[in-house]
Amino acid sequence: MGLLQDRYVIVTGAASPRGLGKATAKLFADHGATVAILDLDAGAAEDAARDLGDGHVGLAANVTDQAACRAAVEDLIGRWGRIDVLVNNAGITQPLKIMDIAPENYDAVLDVNLRGTLYMSQAVIPAMRDQKSGSIVNLSSVSAQRGGGIFGGPHYSAAKAGVLGLTKAMARELAPDNVRVNAICPGFIATDITAGKLTDEMRASVLAGIPMGRAGEASDVAGCCLFLASDLAAYCTGTEVDVNGGSLIH
């Protein structure tokens, strides 16, 4: 028996082959969950769902579009009858300095990371409240806690800090309905977002700041998502869990 046997799960932004979302979706499927992968591109989402095995779903949804989030969730409730877990993984980053952040940069990064987390959560909350159970896992970042310094610009730090505040406020409001909301703060993880964008010197300096001496893997984050999604974390809500190899110990 897996930790998520007979649970129905949504993971956003999970079509990227080496991303955190895909690794999380795969681990959840391995633990018995039925998974819906939401991404901008329907074909990519369907392909990713197919990789997980039979019975999983791939849907196109832009998390910055409230109506699209609601439509995707309504589609899934029509198929499944319930939603047990939402992983708000969809995110983008930009390595800009403070004076280089233009309005369109701010809009893009805040909208996907923060507004998308809000809209997807709003879409699943009514069903979770009705069934008196649910787990929402939000992806923040060590950048929110330490003020950047790895890859994303200050607007990325701000968006991911916003995710922490939203997580805690939602946790407080939803706890009476037995809906848990928690955040994960990954450190430097080797994924497609950072691939090819770091020079050897940058990489060496990042690794020098990690006591465990290695970059994280997508599977490291996926394992933490599994814990928070499952009944092992039944009394955890409003938490932020660090997955950073010791790069921030506080």
Active site residues: 156
What secondary structure does DSSP assign to 229-248, as a single string?
Answer: HSGGGTT--S-EEEESTTSS
CB 87 within 8 A of CB 18: no
Residue among 23, 10, 134 nearest 79 (CA): 10
**Dist CA 23 CA 245 (whole Å):** 18
DSSP structural state of residue 185: E
Q: Which two tokens stand for residue 198?
A: 């770091």
**Alpha carbon distance 241, 249 (integer Å):** 11
Q: How many angstroms separate the CA atoms of 168 and 180, rounded? A: 10
Residue 203: partners with Cβ closer than 8 Å, 6 or more residues away: none
Residue with tokens 């949804």: 61
